[in-house]
Amino acid sequence: MTATSTALRILSADEVLTALGELRTRQPVQYWAFYSSQLGGIVTDPSLMLIPFDDHMVHRGHGIFDTAGLVNGRIYDLDAHLDRFVRSAASSRLALPCSREEMRSIIIRTTAASGRRDGSIRYWLSSGPGSLELSPAAGSVPGFFVMVFAGLSYPERWYTEGMRVMTTTYPIKPPLYAVTKATNYLPNVLMQMEAKAAGLDNGVFIDPAGHVGESSNMNVAFVTSDGVLRHPKFEHVLAGCTSLRLLELAPALVRQGLIAGVEVCDVPVAQAQQAREMFLLGSSVRVAPVVEWDGRPIGDGRPGPVARALLQLLDDDMHRGDRLIDVPY
Ligand X SMILES: Cc1ncc(COP(=O)(O)O)c(C=O)c1O
Residues marked as catalytic: 181
Window 268-297: residues binding ligand X (CB under 6 A): 282-283
Report the site for ligand X in 243-272 (rule: CB under 6 A).
243
- Is residue 52 a contact partner of residue 130, using CB atoms and an 8 Å limit? no
> Applying CB under 6 A, which of residues 195, 219, 221, 291 lies at the interface with ligand X?
219
Cβ distance to ligand X smaller for residue 287 or 309: 287
Q: Looking at 93-101, 111-119, 214-222, 312-320, which segment touches ligand X (CB under 6 A)?
A: 214-222
Buried b (16+ CB within 10 A) or exposed e, 38-50: beeebbeebbebe
Residue choice 240, 299, 303, 304 for contact with ligand X (CB under 6 A)? 240
Report in angstroms how near the CB of residue 222 gets to ligand X at its nearest.
15
Q: Strand pairing of 286-293 and 296-297?
A: antiparallel
Q: Which is nearer to ligand X, 136 or 236 (CB)?
A: 236
- Asked if 214 is part of the footprint of ligand X (rule: CB under 6 A), the reply reads yes
Tell whether residue 188 is a contact of ligand X (CB under 6 A): yes
Among residues 57, 94, 238, 247, which is the contact residue for ligand X, using CB under 6 A? 238
Of 218 and 291, nearer to ligand X (C-beta) is 218
Q: How many residues bind ligand X (CB under 6 A)?
A: 12
Asked if residue 78 binds ligand X (CB under 6 A), the reply is: no
Torsion of CA 235, 92, 324, 149, to 10 degrees: -120
Q: Which is nearer to ligand X, 113 or 314 (CB)?
A: 314
Residue of 37, 114, 120, 217 interacting with ligand X (CB under 6 A):
217
Residue 219, SS3 per DSSP: strand
Query: Cβ 20 to ligand X, closest distance in Å?
Result: 29
From the list 107, 146, 179, 218, which residue makes contact with ligand X (rule: CB under 6 A)? 218
Question: By the 8 A CB rule, do 217 and 272 touch?
Answer: no
Q: Is 63 in the site for ligand X (CB under 6 A)?
A: no
Q: Going by DSSP bridges, is the β-strand pair 324-326/74-76 parallel, antiparallel, or unpaired?
A: antiparallel
The stretch near ligand X (CB under 6 A) out of 37-45, 143-151, 235-243, 295-303 is 235-243
Q: Does 179 bind ligand X (CB under 6 A)?
A: no
CA distances from 109 to 146, 209, 326 (A): 10, 45, 11
Q: How far is the CB of 214 from ligand X (least distance, A)?
A: 5
Q: What is the DSSP string of 188-210?
A: HHHHHHHHHHTT-SEEE-B-TTS
- Of 46 and 282, the one with the shorter C-beta distance to ligand X is 282
Give the separation between CA 21 and CA 19, rounded to whole angstroms.
5
Rounded CA gap, 128 and 126, in Å? 5
Q: What are phi and psi of 318, to 5 degrees?
A: -75, -25
CB of 161 to ligand X, least distance (A): 22
Q: Measured from the CB of residue 176, what is the shortest distance to ligand X in angstroms?
A: 14
Give the nearest distance from C-beta 140 to ligand X in angstroms.
26
Nearer to ligand X among residue 110 and residue 283 (C-beta) = 283
Which spans in the chain are helix H?
13-26, 56-59, 78-91, 100-114, 157-160, 175-178, 186-197, 241-249, 251-255, 269-273, 305-320
Decide whether 37 or 88 has the Cβ nearer to ligand X.
88
DSSP state of 48: G
> Are β-strands 324-326 and 296-297 bridged in parallel, bridged antiparallel, or unpaired?
unpaired
Q: Which residues in this chain contact ligand X in the complex, by CB under 6 A?
A: 188, 214, 217-219, 238, 240-243, 282-283
